[in-house]
Amino acid sequence: MQTFNELQLAKELIRFPTVTPIDAGIMKFIEKKLISLGFKTKILEFKDKNNSSVKNLYARLGNKSPNFCYAGHLDVVPPGILSDWTVNPFKPTVKKGHLIGRGANDMKSSVAAFISAVSSFINKNVNFKGSISLLITGDEEGIAINGTKKVVEYLKKEKEKIDFCLVGEPTNPNKLGEMIKIGRRGSITGKLTVIGVQGHVAYPHRAKNPSTILVQILKELKEIIFDKGTKDFQPTNLEVTKINIDNSADNVIPGIANANFNIRFNNKHSANSIKKKLNKIFNKISKKNKTKYTIEYIVSGESFLTKPNKTTYMIQNVIKKITKIKPQFSTTGGTSDARFIRKISPCLEFGLVGKTMHKVDESVSLKDLKNLTKIYLNILENYFK
């Protein structure tokens, strides 16, 4: 049986310019690798009238229970200004013990490490009892509508059971082995428009300036203390991300003012409870000022927590054995595709050190890449004991 070297495979994956949602042939490429290992595969392409089509892959080796799944993504963020890079971002280069290229950190190297680990595992354990699956998306860095979310819906419809899922996102702040993510805060974006009455600056009594009301609302939003955090989560926070008044003249009171904000909320709240709290503020201030407003909410995910079980502790022990660091359980950071997968399976996240993700000269330490492959191999060996 063929085995795959994690460094060689990571280089091959980085060569595909898979800026979200471009596939560039990568799903077919990875499918061939998995078929050569004995996996049954299905490329799942989803699209809708408002968004680009996205290719995803679900592959499974074996048909028995338990089914251990690895989830990851092969899409990457844009490289930015190419002249700022010391290498071509899609021509992977090794320098000073690091592999440099877009996706080296987030998260093509992690996918390569897991496939390498699987190839080693099945060489030694031909008749293991259970199944190994991979859920790979091309839409994690984008709007995440036609990616993992729809794959999960497909798996539910097909009654495909996953017993545990390991998401390979870069979870460690500084050193491999520091952190396992067992949950994430929810995320909700608000797009607020305050509608005033346009007029001449010299005659304010004939107009109603929406910016004045917008400032009042934003001040009140920023003064909300949602909570002080919990045992497992940091406090809920609201950040104003955009303020826009489309007005080209300095002697005109504008008719409309807009602002966007994002809230990261813990498990003391739901998206609905947050909306109700904010709507009361909007209604109160707009009523007081006799103005109208519109609000659009976009919910990226609810908060969730996977309570540690025996598999979680096993993975923690494997990481400690190889890195000599006992990883802490954490819920910090942004959202990930675990927010969709947790609806069908307990899951955790563990991958590389995330210091260079989305940056110029994104990179992974070759030592970390080798150790992550060892960790993934040890996890499989312990899970299927």
Known catalytic residues are: 75, 140
Tokens 């992690």, residue located: 110
DSSP 20-87: TT--TTHHHHHHHHHHHTT-EEEEEEEEETTEEEEEEEEEEE-SSSPEEEEEEE--B-----GGGSSS
In angstroms, how far is the first alpha carbon of the chain from the final one? 21
Residue type, 13: L
Q: Are 233 and 189 in contact (CB under 8 A)?
A: no
* Percent of the chain as helix, strand, coil, to the nearest 5: 30, 30, 40
What are the Cα distances from residue 160, in Å, to 46, 132, 168, 256, 345? 18, 12, 21, 50, 11
Please tell me the total number of residues recorded for the chain in this structure: 385
What does the alpha-carbon distance between residue 174 and residue 170 come to, in Å, rounded to a whole number?
11
